[in-house]
Amino acid sequence: MKKFFIINTVCFIFIIGCATVPVRPTIQDTQIINAPFDKVWEALVATLAEMGLPIESIEKESGIVTTDFVIFASGLATEKVLGKVAVYPTSLLYIWSTARYKLSIFAIKKGEDATKVKITTHIEAYESNVTHNWMVCYSKGVIEKRIFESIKMKICQEKKGIIGIFVKEDGYVVQVTEDGPAAKAGLKVGDKIIKINGCPVSELSEIICGLRGEPGTTVEVTVMRNNKEYTFKIVRVRLKE
C-alpha cells in the first residue's frame, strides 16, 4: 500500500513538475498616434468606458490611467477564451476556471499632432485543480490592438472628408458610392486597398483613418486588382450629416 502511495505521489509530482512556463511573446504595446494629446486622451477614456473597464486611477497631467481587474472568462470556456488573448502555464492537471486582466496605460505628447501611447496588460488565470492560485499569463497583444484601433477610429471619425467607399476588415472594397469621388476616380468593388499615400496598410483602422481627412484634400489610394497595382488620386468631399 505504501509502495502504491509513493508511486502515485511521485507520478503526481512528476506531472506537476512538467508544467511549462509561458514564454512572453513579442507584441506591439506601444504606438505613435497622429493626433494631439487632448484628442487621444479623450478617445482613450471613451474606449475604456465602452469596454466597461473600472478605472482605478486617472491623471491627465501625467498621462497615466490604470484599471482594476475585470473578469473576461469563467467556467468551462475559460481556457479557450484565455488562449485567444494570452499564453499561459500548461500542465496535464491544470484546470482554468476564471481569467481576468487589468491595464496600465501611459500617454505622452510627442508633438503638436503626435501622441505616444503604451499599454501594459496584466493577465491572470485561476487554476482550480492543483495550485488553487491566480497564475500570471502573458498577453498576445489582442487586447492592446483592440484599444489602439478604437482610439484611432474615434479620432478619424471626427474628420469629415470622405471618398465614398465601404471597406471590409481585409481591405477589400465592398461598395462604391455612385458618382462619388472614388467612383469617378476609377475604384471598383473587389479592389483591395494596399497603400494610402504610399504607405502600406493592413488594419481596417489604418485604412479608414487614412482615407478620411479634410474636405477638399487629396488622398492617394493604391489597390490590387487582378494581381496588378493601380494608384488613384482622389479628392475628399464633405460627409453628409
Q: Which CATH class is domain 161-238?
A: mainly beta
Q: How confident is the model at residue 11 (pLDDT cuts 50, 70, 90)?
A: very low
List the chain domain ranges: 23-156, 161-238
pLDDT for res 157: 82
Query: Domain 23-156 adopts which CATH fold?
Result: Alpha-D-Glucose-1,6-Bisphosphate; Chain A, domain 4 (3.30.530)
DSSP 104-139: EEEEEEEETTEEEEEEEEEEEEEETTTT-EEEEEEE
Which of 190, 179, 184, 183 is closest to 223 using CA atoms? Answer: 190
Within 10 Å of residue 148's Cβ, how many Cβ atoms? Answer: 22
Q: How confident is the model at residue 241 (pLDDT cuts 50, 70, 90)?
A: low
Q: How confident is the model at residue 15 (pLDDT cuts 50, 70, 90)?
A: very low
**Tens-digit pLDDT profile for residues 104-150:** 999 999 988 889 999 999 999 999 999 999 999 999 999 999 999 99
Segment 6-10 mean pLDDT: 45
pLDDT for res 77: 95
**Tens-digit pLDDT profile for residues 25-78:** 999 999 998 889 999 999 999 999 999 999 999 999 999 999 999 999 999 999
Please tell me the number of Cα atoms within 13 Å of 66 on its side-chain side.
6
pTM: 0.76
